[in-house]
Amino acid sequence: MGSGDSWRKIAALIGVFVVLKVQAVPTHIGDNADAGELSDDILDINRGLTHLFEGDIAVDPSRNAILDKTRRWKFPIPYILSDSLELNAKGVILQAFEEYRLRSCVDFKPYEGESSYISFTKLSGCWSYVGDNGTGRNVSIGARCDTKAIVQHELLHALGFYHEQSRSDRDDYVKIWWDQIEEGKEHSFKKYEDDFITDLNTPYDYESIMHYRPLSFNKNESIPTITTNIPYFNEVIGQRLDFSAVDITRLNRMYDCANTHTLLDQCSFELINICGMIQNEEDTADWAQTLSSPADTDHTLAGHCRDSGYFMKFDTSSGAAGSSALLESRILYPKRDEQCLEFFYKMTGAAGDKLVIWVRTDDGTGALRSFKKIHTITGNGDAAWKIAHVTLKVTEKFRYSFQGIRGSADSSGAILIDDITLTETICPSAVWQIHNFNHVLATTPNGSAVKSKCFYNSEGYSFGVSVYPNGQHSAYPDYVGMNLHLCSGENDTVMQWPAKNRQATIVAMDQDPDVKLRMSSTRSFTTGRPRSLAFR
């Protein structure tokens, strides 16, 4: 698996769509994260560093890495994580690598003496050179730069990209308020003609992770230096959540990416070909592609779009007890030795209906005839959409399958599945799902928490999650606060205490069914110093 092996255990909070990746837990809480990492952007962190161009680009570039193909990287890019980096910074760099692998053909490998490489180091501020010069490049992940989004931003510079507002046509989309720019920083708002940089035939992107924020290099703390011609986007520019859809399009166009490294399959069942999935002809029933209705709503779109909002449905209201239908994927060819199958499901019948996950592999003859049962979900009468993560460990070509089984002759409902994603990544180890989060927001006072049950991580530590829907403190009522806390567990007497130097990652996850387009907010910290995190 390589560097992805480090991020093994995840607890997910779905409803607010938050994923918590933990290898251990802090011993207590405090020190609100809003005091630093959520309020400071790259330019705030780098304030006072005079050797940087446009705030976070090392040296004034004389050539453009986008148009000059000799300065584009060959993959995989060798990398060094220097000893100067803090543990949390190393973790978020590896997380950023996995985001590139999921969404593009960009890849990384540990340095083995190559002449061209990226060295991540802790210097003053967050910055990068632009493009590959053939002799090695530094990327600085300094103090307060250790978030995944900042690493993604600096790596896009290293891969050959400039800031969004540097485009030649930027004045059609934003206004630069020159009289509000800090003296000596006017060069940071320079724009380049299209013979120097290229937009790769993509539109101006207010959502780009490479765009400046409104208050960049401002004289007055409340007066912007850059505003959008469409006022709505004044609240959008400078987002540090994740890649935008256009960021990914440009990256894949620049490097001629046809495939990604870790995405094997995904389907939201909106098209009639149902993503190449097939029915088993030996079954007593079939799965049916079904349009959303008030009685059965689609997970993705909830039927809000005309002629959209499809899912797959196995009717359990007729047939003999034990009758079943098998829906199989196309043939898939893995590159890693572990996969995560994520999907949403709903079981509307009486308790007892079953949804079984199978894989079918080579039986030694080249044919996929060897079946293995992987996971079984049994309906409990709770007819709500739920998320599931199922670990597959397949090293050769295979199909995965969903088998619906009617539990009894009294069953009168259906089994629904939607929004399937299969990635060659590590699955969550525990899931906590909060339903009807709008109601929770409306009824939970500021400072009050909703608490999960206790989970175990891979080492045996027991922990739980506290969510403050309307903020943990009165100063932050517009933030959802989240804490990890220890639970008393069965392994306490044999565990090492305190549980230091483990990384916890909290992800506010976008619900887009296309995993390549999800814009999720991520914060990480390491145990040893108490932290609590908040998301606006």
Q: What is the pLDDT along the chain (536 residues), one digit of tens a residue?
A: 333 333 222 333 333 444 545 433 333 333 333 333 345 788 888 777 767 777 878 864 544 456 777 789 999 999 999 999 999 999 999 999 999 999 999 999 999 999 999 999 999 999 999 999 898 999 999 999 999 999 999 999 999 999 999 999 999 999 999 999 999 999 899 888 887 788 899 999 999 999 999 999 999 989 999 999 999 999 999 999 999 999 999 999 999 999 999 999 999 999 999 999 999 888 889 999 999 887 777 777 654 555 568 999 999 998 889 999 999 999 999 999 999 999 999 999 888 999 999 999 999 999 999 999 999 999 998 888 999 999 999 999 999 999 999 998 888 899 999 999 999 999 877 778 888 888 999 999 999 999 999 988 888 988 888 889 999 888 888 888 888 788 899 999 999 988 888 887 877 778 788 999 999 888 888 887 555 555 55
DSSP string over 192-249: --TTT---TT----TT-TTSPPTTTTBSSTTS-SEEESSGGGGGTTT--SS--HHHHH
Tokens matching residue 67: 């148009």
* 211 annotated ligand-binding residue: no
User: Do the bridges between strand 310-315 and strand 414-423 make them parallel or antiparallel, or are there none, so unpaired?
Assistant: antiparallel
Is the separation of the CB atoms in 232 and 76 below 8 Å?
no
**CA gap 77, 73 in Å, rounded:** 7
Q: Where do the domains of the chain lie, and which CATH numbers do they carry? A: 42-255 (3.40.390.10), 263-423 (2.60.120.200), 437-527 (2.60.210.10)
**CA gap 306, 283 in Å, rounded:** 32
Tell me, rounded to whole angstroms, the distance of Cα 485 from its chain centroid.
23
**Full-model pTM:** 0.86
Q: Quote the Cα angle for 336-276-349, to 5°.
A: 95
Is the separation of the CB atoms in 272 and 289 below 8 Å?
yes
Is the separation of the CB atoms in 358 and 374 below 8 Å?
yes
What is the set of active-site residues?
154
* 163 annotated ligand-binding residue: yes
Q: What pLDDT, on the 0 to 100 scale, is given for residue 434?
A: 83
DSSP string over 253-311: HHTT----SSEEEEE-S-STTGGG-EE-TTSSS--EEEE--SSS--TTTTT-STT--EE
Place of tokens 């600096």: 154
Q: Say what the alpha-carbon torsion angle 142, 79, 103, 101 is, to the nearest 10 degrees.
A: -130
Among 160, 139, 137, 133, which residue's Cα sits nearest to residue 151? Answer: 139
* 435 annotated ligand-binding residue: no
Per DSSP, helices labelled H in 67-132 are 87-103
Is the separation of the CB atoms in 221 and 213 below 8 Å?
no
**CA gap 107, 105 in Å, rounded:** 6
DSSP code of residue 398: E
Return the bridge partners of 52, or none: 58
H/E/C letters for each residue in 427-457? CCCEEEECCCHHHHHHHCCCCCCEECCCEEC
